[in-house]
Amino acid sequence: MYRKRWSLFSLLITVVIVMGMLVACAPQEAAPTTAPAATEPPAAAAPTNTPPPGGGGLTPEAVAEETGELPDLGGVTLQVSAISETYAGIFHKYDDIWEQMNVSFEFTMVPAQDTYQKDMLEFAGGGSSQDIVFFQPAWMADYAPHLIDLGAAADEYGIDWQMDDAMAVFSESYTQWDGVHYAIPADGDQFNFYYNKVAFEDERNIDAYMEETGEELRVPETWDEYVQVAEFFNGRDWDFDGTDEYGVAEAWLRGGYAYYWWLPKFFGYGGVYFDEEMNPLINSPAGIQALEHQVAIADFVPEGSFNFGSGEARAAWLNGDVPMVVHWTSSAKLAKDPTASKIVENAGIALVPGVEVDGEIYRRTALPTGWVMGITTYSDDQEAAAQVMAFLAQPERSLEIALDAALWCEPWRASSFDPAVWEQKWPEDPEYGAEMAEVMQGSLEIGVPDLQIPGQDEYVKALDAEIASAIAGEKSVEDALNDAAEEWNNITDRLGRDDMIGFWNAQYDAMKANGIEYRPEIAGE
């Protein structure tokens, strides 16, 4: 029903977006449209065909044995907006295969924070310079009118995307809009909890924690424990290297990061973005308690945390400066790389904390950013692009890509979580591999998708700014979230409340189908 009126609505949104971008052309503080993905792409925006280190996949013979005869794509060169060398590496991993398939690529690297604006400007002009675009699922509503229907493409080109093997959030939310299949996952981003085993297992820390709190030290199961443990470790030489360390790391750089680190707390307290009438729930007791926990750790994070993006928060953990961090799954793989990590022998992984309800822990994590691939309606080589994406999306390829630490791409297929496979990834520490597979799959099962409605970028920026203000002590928690909710209502009214209610409920219905709905009783409402 909403598809019939989407074309006009999309045109209106695109005009609003472009006008806003033109106004924003004046010099201003650099800030991403939303928080960039765990990958941190270079600022360059130029075509390149140079493969990154660590490329190389299966031989064409091995692939042909699995997949049958490889199609001949006629020598076309596909234009790919790949965001970073990391995602271009997905393609370079199979350079030998592309030679067999008679296809080549030119990659345009656009920083994650600029991707949305670049594509929207081109779409508003009635075209695109790209055949394949990488984008965040949160932007699906704005991208969908400019992407081909992959379900129809599968029928026309004899392709099987094998989406029945995808985890539910990818098959039902992160690849569809209004019931149409528009994208294939490239990176199944999720937030997990990472910790330093020395901090939690050394008897000296265990004894000190018992003496000071009267409780047993453990990896935090609840967000209350998260704050208490951060306070305990802060200013303490918990790894006994002669230097006092901090208690926890979060990324609070304005532009989306503080928002993303607030989300798993908000979801854990039973929150969702809106109710069915699109009244914001971000200033509900769930939102307030989430932000109160974020404010509570402000004295326990490393200096300069308001300038921390993804890389800085991750580095604080990998360098042994903090005992714990919530972060993307790429951190789990980097932790075992001695060239990137000082905690190779002491890295631990767990589900994010939650809230105790009737003696059990209710957890909901965030699935922030992620990246998917779509084919533009403006491409002259749609079949070739579809065949390439179909090859990369095969279960065997998806697992190979996820296992490759150089690519920072996380699994999204149910078949990619075989513990035995991940145990082999680190034969010297198979238990870590098995735990990683279990946690990754578990997080996708309890994860809440990003907001996926038109204007998502505006909602995120407005809330992020208010969260950052509260953490900085510029506003009270209640005032900050009330101001954010008021701005959310303004955005909704400006975009058209009746239409937006329909768009939101389409997403909310999909969330409800996966057991995700507002739980006011958890926060004591």
Beta pairing class for 447-449 and 365-367: parallel
What is d(CA 177, CA 506) in angstroms, rounded to the nearest whole number?
9
Written in H, E and C, the secondary structure of 303-333 is CCHHHCCHHHHHHHHHCCCCCEEEEECHHHH
Gap between the Cα atoms of 439 and 350, Å rounded: 6
- In this structure, the strands spanning 132-135 and 76-81 are parallel
Q: Are 266 and 286 in contact (CB under 8 A)?
A: yes
Count of CB atoms within 10 A of residue 455's CB? 21
Alpha carbon distance 247, 428 (integer Å): 29
> Cβ neighbours of residue 3 under 8 Å, at least 6 residues apart?
178, 179, 180
Domains by residue range for the chain, with CATH: 6-189+368-435 (3.40.190.10), 191-266+301-366 (3.40.190.10)
Six-digit token string for 462: 């407005």
Tokens of 292: 């109160």
Nearest to 95 by CA among 109, 83, 84, 107: 107
Q: Half-sphere exposure of residue 430, counting CA atoms within 13 Å on the CB side? A: 7
DSSP sequence for 415-475: GGG-HHHHHHHSTTSHHHHHHHHHHHHHHHHHEEEPP-STTHHHHHHHHHHHHHHHHTTSS
With beta carbons less than 8 A apart as the criterion, state whether 174 and 372 touch. yes
Contact 35, 311 (CB under 8 A): no
Q: Is 26 exposed, middle or buried (0-12, 13-18, 19+ CB in 10 A)?
A: exposed
What pLDDT does 204 receive?
A: 98
CB 477, CB 470: distance < 8 Å: yes
Q: What is the pLDDT along the chain (525 residues), one digit of tens a residue?
A: 444 344 444 444 444 444 444 333 322 222 333 333 333 333 333 333 333 333 334 444 444 555 568 999 999 999 999 888 889 999 999 999 999 999 999 999 988 878 999 999 999 999 999 999 999 999 999 999 999 999 999 999 999 999 999 999 999 889 999 899 999 999 999 999 999 999 999 999 999 999 999 999 999 999 999 999 999 999 999 999 999 999 999 999 988 899 999 999 999 999 999 999 999 999 999 999 999 999 999 999 999 999 999 999 999 999 999 999 999 999 999 999 999 999 999 999 999 999 999 999 999 999 998 899 999 999 999 999 999 999 999 999 999 999 998 888 999 999 999 999 999 999 999 999 999 999 999 999 999 999 999 999 899 999 999 999 999 999 999 999 999 999 999 999 999 999 999 999 999 999 999 899 999 999 986
Q: Residue 68: what pLDDT?
A: 60
